């Protein structure tokens, strides 16, 4: 506490000495000559003395003495009016800063409302998701019962989707490149035409095969016999077609190697050195395949089978099982994500509130206490204390002026001087003018001495720091004893499991 008071004292002295910030009004220094010249004291004293004015029995001030008193009071009044103008501004600023310093700046109720709103919103979101999950989970259970399934579905994930699509893309691109080079010599336009044929065949071998594998192969597991039969028949027909297509493509390549004819001529039958009755690309089993043509055939068939398998393995093997469970699993993932994030989000909000509290505390101390209240209350103190110096100086000037008048007057007069010449009558202004509580009525309740300012600064500083510390303590207690229990309750309430 002693160190704190020393620091406050140093701060006070810096503000006190800084006129630019600490003083908004300063009473001027009183010069005796100004007052004497204003009432022309020497000339009036000589004239009055020669005329024995004031009379020896007079008990009242002479005209010249009254003029000196009036002049001093008018000068005082003019400076007081200027000081009151400054005090009006200071009063507004001081009372405004005092209201901020005196009020309770930290309210736990507001923070509790924020946390409570977040918990209610989280509970509402989780409640809706749980309802959705239960409906989707019920659909999965019903699907398992209807299709006589006992195992859990093998649902798609982002990784599985990328792998499945990547396999298709790699197979397609690789087949297009290889087939283009193998077919190019047999094309009229060379590589460009070979690429066109390769694109069409690769699309059948890869994309169509993937679709057949995804639909037909999966239905091999269906509990309905009719679907199994249709799927097997469809797959059988498709395999015959894909084998024939690639075999015929190899046959065209083999014929080209033997005759040099391009594919267009072979398709139109314009080859003179081929007996169409004995050999035809339309009947590939009549053609003896070459090494390159065998590669072309097995490459196409191999890629088609690989695409069939990729389509079969894409998503769950049982048709529709993976899709219906995927929605349920995604809902569960979202529920778990919200449950897991609730505590970190609340912790972050608590940390931010504590950080904000410390920032607000420092802001109140630095900006309101040290930059507003202290300079303004010091300025008000300076005005009050400055007036005391000013009125003392002014009374001193008046005493000197009136004394000089009486000295000169006694020198020039023939009659004895009045008795009041030897008294203090007229040498000082009214005593009420010396009392700052009367002169600055309405502002005196704000006045604090230097020691009182230091003490009040210490009180405000302790109040603000204690309030902030107590508020942070309340936040931590509320977090530990109430919020964490509510979070745990919500986590347990919405802890869903797959059926």
* pLDDT per residue as tens digits for the range 17-39: 444 444 478 999 888 887 778 78
Q: Is 444 exposed, middle or buried (0-12, 13-18, 19+ CB in 10 A)?
A: middle
Report the range of poorest mean pLDDT among 132-141, 305-314, 353-362, 482-491: 305-314
Q: Quick one: tokens of 349?
A: 């909000």
Q: Quick one: tokens of 97?
A: 């800063």
Q: pLDDT at residue 223 above 50?
A: yes
More confident position, 177 or 266: 177
H or E segment and range at residue 258: helix 225-259
> Can you give the residue ranges of every domain in the chain?
2-112+337-493, 157-314
* pLDDT per residue as tens digits for the range 384-409: 999 999 999 999 999 999 998 999 99
User: Would you state the pLDDT for residue 227?
Assistant: 76
What's the predicted TM-score (pTM) here? 0.63
User: Would you state the pLDDT for residue 257?
Assistant: 67
Report the range of poorest mean pLDDT among 127-136, 206-215, 264-273, 424-433: 264-273
User: Would you state the pLDDT for residue 279?
Assistant: 53
Instruction: Return d(Cα 417, Cα 52) in angstroms, integer.
Output: 8
Q: pLDDT at residue 117 above 80?
A: yes
Q: How far apart are the first and last CA of the chain?
A: 66
Closest listed residue to residue 52, CA positions, set 416, 408, 423? 416
Which whole number is the average pLDDT over 48-58? 91
- How crowded is residue 21: how many other Cβ atoms within 10 Å of its Cβ? 15
User: Would you state the pLDDT for residue 1?
Assistant: 45
Q: How confident is the model at residue 304 (pLDDT cuts 50, 70, 90)?
A: confident
* pLDDT per residue as tens digits for the range 371-381: 999 999 999 99
Q: pLDDT at residue 189 above 80?
A: no
Q: How confident is the model at residue 195 (pLDDT cuts 50, 70, 90)?
A: low
Adjacent-strand bridge partners of 283: 280
User: Would you state the pLDDT for residue 203?
Assistant: 75
Q: pLDDT at residue 167 above 80?
A: no
Return the SS3 of 280.
Answer: strand
Q: Quick one: tokens of 364?
A: 């109140």
Residue 60: partners with Cβ closer than 8 Å, 6 or more residues away: 54, 420
Percentages helix, strand, coil for the chain (3-state, rounded to 5) are: 80, 0, 20
Instruction: Return d(Cα 385, Cα 266) in angstroms, integer.
Output: 120
């Amino acid at each position: 506490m002693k160190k704190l008071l020393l620091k406050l004292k140093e701060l006070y002295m810096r503000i006190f000495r800084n006129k630019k910030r600490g003083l908004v009004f300063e009473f001027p220094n009183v010069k005796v000559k100004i007052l004497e010249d204003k009432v022309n004291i020497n000339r009036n004293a000589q004239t009055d003395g020669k005329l024995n004015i004031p009379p020896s029995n007079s008990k009242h001030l002479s005209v010249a003495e009254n003029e000196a008193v009036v002049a001093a009071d008018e000068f005082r009044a003019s400076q007081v009016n200027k000081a009151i103008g400054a005090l009006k501004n200071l009063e507004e600023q001081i009372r405004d800063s005092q209201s901020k310093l005196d009020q309770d700046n930290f309210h736990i109720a507001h923070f509790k409302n924020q946390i409570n709103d977040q918990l209610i919103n989280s509970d509402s979101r989780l409640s809706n998701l749980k309802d959705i999950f239960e409906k989707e989970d019920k659909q999965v259970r019903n699907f398992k019962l209807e299709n006589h399934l006992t195992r859990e579905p093998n649902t798609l994930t982002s990784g599985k989707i990328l792998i499945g699509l990547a396999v298709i893309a790699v197979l397609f691109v690789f087949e297009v490149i290889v087939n283009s080079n193998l077919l190019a010599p047999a094309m009229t336009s060379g590589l460009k035409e070979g690429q066109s044929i390769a694109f069409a065949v690769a699309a059948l071998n890869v994309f169509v095969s993937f679709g057949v594998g995804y639909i037909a192969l999966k239905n091999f597991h269906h509990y309905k016999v009719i679907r199994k039969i249709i799927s097997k028949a469809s797959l059988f027909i498709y395999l015959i077609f894909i084998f024939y297509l690639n075999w015929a493509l190899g046959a065209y390549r083999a014929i080209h190697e033997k005759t040099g004819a391009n594919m267009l001529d072979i398709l139109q039958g314009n080859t003179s050195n081929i007996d169409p009755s004995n050999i035809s690309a339309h009947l590939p089993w009549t053609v003896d395949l070459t090494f390159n043509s065998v590669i072309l055939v097995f490459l196409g068939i191999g890629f088609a089978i690989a695409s069939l398998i990729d389509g079969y393995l894409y998503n769950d093997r049982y048709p529709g099982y993976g899709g219906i469970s995927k929605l349920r699993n995604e809902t569960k993932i979202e529920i778990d994500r919200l449950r897991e994030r609730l505590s970190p989000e609340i912790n972050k909000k608590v940390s931010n509130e504590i950080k904000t509290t410390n920032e607000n505390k420092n802001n109140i101390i630095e900006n309101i206490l040290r930059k507003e209240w202290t300079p303004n209350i010091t300025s008000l103190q300076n005005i009050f204390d400055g007036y005391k110096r000013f009125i003392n100086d002014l009374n001193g000037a008046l005493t000197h002026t009136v004394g000089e008048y009486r000295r000169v007057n006694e020198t020039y007069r023939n009659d004895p001087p009045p008795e009041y010449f030897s008294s203090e009558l007229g040498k000082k202004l009214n005593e009420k003018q010396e009392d700052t509580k009367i002169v600055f009525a309405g502002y005196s309740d704000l006045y604090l001495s230097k020691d009182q300012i230091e003490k009040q600064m210490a009180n405000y500083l302790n109040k603000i720091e204690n309030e902030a510390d107590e508020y942070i303590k309340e936040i931590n207690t509320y977090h530990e004893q109430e919020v964490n229990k509510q979070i745990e309750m919500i986590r347990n309430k919405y802890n869903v499991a797959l059926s």
